[in-house]
Structure 1
Amino acid sequence: MLASGVIDNTGAILKRVGKFAGAVTTKSISPEPRKGHETPTIVELEERSMLNAMGLPNPGIENFKGELKIAKTGEAPVILNVVAKDIKGFVEVAEKLGSFADAVEVNLSCPNVKGGLEFSQSAEVAGDVISKIKKVTKVPIIAKLGPNVNSISEIAKAVEKAGASGITAINTMPAMEIDVETGKAILTNVSGGLSGSHLRPIAVKCIYDIYREVKIPIIGTGGVLTGEDAAELMMAGATAVGVGTAVWNEGPAAFQRISKELNDFLDRKGYKNASDIIGISHGKNV
């Protein structure tokens, strides 16, 4: 499936990508329009990794409603990613737009905007956000968690108890690069979110820890560049896998390639289907 934050938020583009992906997730939508950070906002790193500090640019609730309706006419389920500076804002976006989507993904953990991590640092706060959103929308709620917390397992248990139907793990990791010629940070925002292959081992550990503590499905994201990468996240406990950096590099063709590579891996190892490998690193289904 398409991970949040990768492509432009137009309904036409999401609809087109939906022809290749099992589901599509919008960029984060906030109550009011956001301009985002000034360029440069992306730094490409070695080994197909990248830093991004987009600053959550988006058109806001009223301007995105029409785009969401267009995206919903496509073939794939549409997941609305919501973000806000306070709980009231999260609730507002979910209440006004949730009914136009198949699910709501709550961005509790954006690392490159002021205050973006506050909602994922406390199990109590994260649970409170989810419980209040659950009161205003009937669609499934997915909590998107970040890796830079004391215990992601405790956060996961809290959002499950609050009524989340699933968890996306993980968001990007705060990081930065300095231009040694100038001595200055390359990104205008100084720091950004690390994604791609460098993030994958962190994602695997987080997914592994979450799987041990909750019963709800996990969408694994973070460094899925090949079919075997997808298999690794599923073995850690992911039920489904989100793809971001690979799509940014290759376009929608990345979905077909990764899917074929995963199926080839399953055939080579003698598995009947992808569900056979979910959580096997925990000693199950072996």
Structure 2
Amino acid sequence: MNTNTGKVTLLSAGPGDLDLLTLKAVKALAAADVVLLDDLANPDIVTLAPQARVIRVGKRGGCRSTPQAFIERMMRRYALKGLHVVRVKGGEALLFGRAGEEIAILRDAGIALDIVNGISSGFAAAAGLGISLTHRRHCHGVTFVTAHTEDHGEPDWAALAATRTTLAIYMGMRRIGSIAAALLASLPADTPAAVVQWAGAIAERRLLTRLDRLAADAVDAGFDSPAVILVGDAIGESVEAEYGAAAGALTAVDKADDGVVAQAA
């Protein structure tokens, strides 16, 4: 490793609530010379890095994004100048955040690297719904999956449904119709489902529904990215807690005051 270089910290900013940052994250920000700020992170996070130069490098599905190669060049360039670069990523940096590519680039350049973990939006969504993703009454695990692969293909939804785990689906809103249809080939129509938009942030919205109405209800309620789709029997615990009814037994309810929308056939 080149001892004359600076270093890079891959920092997980969590779901948006700055109170959920780790102490390690706060210390890294305070020591940063350069902050490369992800579009999904709370922009107020820069107040914790008062001496840093802030460069916004947003990456959003379906929107104009900063090219990944440019971000990697920026990290390498400033670190090789001896600076401490903090690459701020929304959620958990190691989960669907292209961290693997950035780690490889930095290692190849001999640049020191720290990784700071954070709360992924899937966990924040579960917290907002007041459920356990691995409730032992309903499942034996949870599967985190992205709705599209590098080659723009889709996961094997039938195989995922067969696991009988809670499915936490990231980056799936543009394909929510095809996702629901694929899962319905293997799961019952009344399987509890939810969409949580801006999980863990002040603007959080939550939709409780069932699998056969998932796509229609999400569209009708105006849900969009960034959002996490949750599917599985464990999601029914949120419906029971909120409304004293099993998933699918609800009439339509709109709780605009707390951002919860419940729909049923």
Higher strand share: 2
User: TM-score, structure 2 length as denominator?
Assistant: 0.26
TM-score by length of 1: 0.25
The answer to which structure has the higher helix fraction is: 1
